[in-house]
Structure 1
Amino acid sequence: MQEFLNLRLLLVMIFIVNAAFNQGQAQQLRYFMQAEASPANAIPYGNNPKAGHYLKSGDAKIYYEVYGEGKPLVVLHGGIVGSTMEMGQFIDSLSRNYQVIAVSTRGHGKSGMGSQMPTYERKAEDVNAIINAVTKDSVTVLGFSDGAYTGYYLAAKHPEKVKKLIAIGAGEWKQGFRTFDNTRKVLFSMDSLYFKQQLALMPEPKRFDEWLVTLNKYYNSVDIGKETLGAIRCPVLVMAGELDQNAPLKTVIAAYEMIPKAQLSIIPNAPHPVFLINFPAVWTSLVPFLRQ
């Protein structure tokens, strides 16, 4: 039944996206499987020269944007199909009271791919380098999916840098629980407009297929459990949609139980991109954690 619901949601979203495209309404920068065209005046998160910066980290130039003023808060998007644009509602809302540092992780958007395996440890070091460049303060981190796993590693490896972590859609990860075999053909068949836009942003678009092979290899070998999650010392809000197909509920609860100072928030009847489906519920759950 759950697989049927996920498939039905995917088909509906594809239909809406295609309809918007056919009407010529989806020309603005957008996130993967966006159901509606962005307003013409929407901030192009992930490709905004007014807020954009580059930093050399290891073997890659990493792109990030800074918005607002206040205590620093890092925003990390999802992986493979993820982009800073998908985090737009968070950036809009948080930049009213925080200095938001929105990072395009390596291989995504305008960030370089580098030559190293894009592990979560490597991405965490990229983010740590950006934090050091922007602020001397410790930060709050909000990450979705791939960004949440990067947040786990950042908090575990650099506890002095992370005061709080909000991890959305990221549970315990046992090696082999999912099989990754992403290809250009499959991804473009799901949302060709989005990937054409992303390739236009990439500094090395000809390496896209090579990058996918490397990601598949890494994701099929990764294992995330007590060793990493148990090492996190800051308060963590572990959040997910009840119907998350990428981080099933039992894995999210397992992660919550492994993290020493964890709180749990499950949004009913919502899939993996829970904040794109029900942002008000996510925001209502998130604000008290930030204020604590």
Structure 2
Amino acid sequence: MEQQLNTARGDFRIALSGEASLPALLLSNSLGTTLEMWKPQVDELSKNFHVIRYDTRGHGGSPITAGPYEFKDLGEDVLAIMDALEVDRGMFCGLSMGGHTGLWLAIHAAERFQAIAVCNSAARIGTVDGWRERAAYLRQGGVSGMHDLAKSAPSRWFTDQFIAGSPDIVKQMQQGLENVSPEGYAACCDALATSDLRGDLPAINTPMLFLAGLSDPVTTLLDAQQMQCLVSTSQLKTIAASHLSNIEAPHEFTNIVSSFLSQQKFSN
């Protein structure tokens, strides 16, 4: 069920699946996508969880406020969504930017989460200059800049084999990126430029899953290994895919995340 949810931090586009009596699971999208990116996971996850998908600020039907954003903003948005839905404590799974949001939540709002899955992400994603250059390019180029970005996205998102074998899915993802607000995207680039959570990782004591794509050029296996070494309550799993691993290898991704979350559901 899709709806606009009124929260203390604005109206967010969300979609709810699964019985409300089940443990709550929030799914957080990657940069340049919307809650539709989780379609391959919804049916299976909603058997055991009350799945809450949402468009991150700057994306889709959620607030497109002027930047720069910080991950404090994106993390507090999650908490506001939980509050509006009267979810005191839940689970969280995010990919790339969404995974970094999960790290922020594990550091700053651990009491609200039973377990967090951080997928295809890192405690420091990219470089300050790289993100600032991309943000400036999109603010200047607007919609045209988003079209240019979409043309180059597949090589960052997927393996060559997947691009060749699943052109319709790749095209659909590119079209979704083209429709993202240039300012919203740029403001999230600002957040990525300034966020470095590496020094905070040893303080995390929430059960964590780090899931890495073996062919991911954006957030690498080494990034995941370094996080796993610093978080004593974490485990590391790998998947034969690139950056958007939940789309390239949906069954494997869903099985790994579902298994991890189900274990935590009964253990604490």
* TM superposition score normalised by structure 1: 0.72
State percent identity of aligned pairs. Answer: 22
Q: Secondary structure at the match of 2:211?
A: strand
Q: Secondary structure at the match of 1:257?
A: helix
Instruction: Give the C-alpha shift of residue 169 in structure 1.
Output: 0.5
**What is the match of residue 57 of structure 2?**
106
Whether the 8 Å CA contact 2:45–2:254 is kept in 1: the answer is: no
Q: Secondary structure at the match of 1:118?
A: coil
Whether the 8 Å CA contact 1:107–1:211 is kept in 2: the answer is: yes
Query: In the alignment, which of 107, 116, 137 is matched to residue 165 of structure 1?
Result: 116
Query: In the alignment, which of 151, 164, 167 is matched to residue 102 of structure 2?
Result: 151
In structure 2, give the amino acid aligned to 1:74. L
Whether the 8 Å CA contact 1:75–1:102 is kept in 2: the answer is: yes
Q: Which structure would you say has the larger Rg?
A: 1
**What is the match of residue 184 of structure 1?**
146
Structure 2 Cα separation of the partners of residues 86 and 174 of structure 1: 20
Cα-to-partner distance string for 1:92-124 (whole Å, 9 max, x where unaligned): 211122111111110111001223532211111
Counterpart mapping for 1:176-255 below 5 A: 176=127, 179-180=130-131, 181=134, 183-190=145-152, 193-195=175-177, 198=179, 208-227=181-200, 229-255=201-227
Say whether residues 1:52 and 2:3 are aligned partners. Answer: yes
**What is the match of residue 281 of structure 1?**
252
Comparing 92-101 with 183-192, greater Cα deviation is found at: 183-192
Q: Secondary structure at the match of 2:203?
A: coil
Report the count of equivalent residues. Answer: 230
Q: CA RMSD in A?
A: 2.2
Structure 2 Cα separation of the partners of residues 175 and 240 of structure 1: 16
Q: Secondary structure at the match of 1:78?
A: coil
Structure 1: which 5+ runs fail to align? 1-49, 200-207
Q: Secondary structure at the match of 1:250?
A: helix
Say whether residues 1:76 and 2:38 are aligned partners. Answer: no
**What is the match of residue 31 of structure 1?**
none
* TM superposition score normalised by structure 2: 0.77
Structure 2 Cα separation of the partners of residues 256 and 91 of structure 1: 27
CA, structure 1 residues 248+132, in 2 after alignment: closer, same or farther (shift >3 Å)? same
Per residue, is there more helix in 1 or in 2? Answer: 2
**What is the match of residue 66 of structure 1?**
16
Structure 1 Cα separation of the partners of residues 101 and 121 of structure 2: 10
Structure 2: which 5+ runs fail to align? 139-144, 153-170, 264-268
Whether the 8 Å CA contact 1:174–1:224 is kept in 2: the answer is: no
Instruction: Give the C-alpha shift of residue 195 in structure 1.
Output: 4.2
In structure 2, give the amino acid aligned to 1:184. M
Whether the 8 Å CA contact 2:34–2:54 is kept in 1: the answer is: no
Q: Secondary structure at the match of 1:160?
A: helix
Structure 1 Cα separation of the partners of residues 239 and 208 of structure 2: 16
Instruction: Give the C-alpha shift of residue 61 in structure 1.
Output: 2.4
In structure 2, give the amino acid aligned to 1:67. S
Runs of 4+ in 1 over 6 A off after TM superposition: none
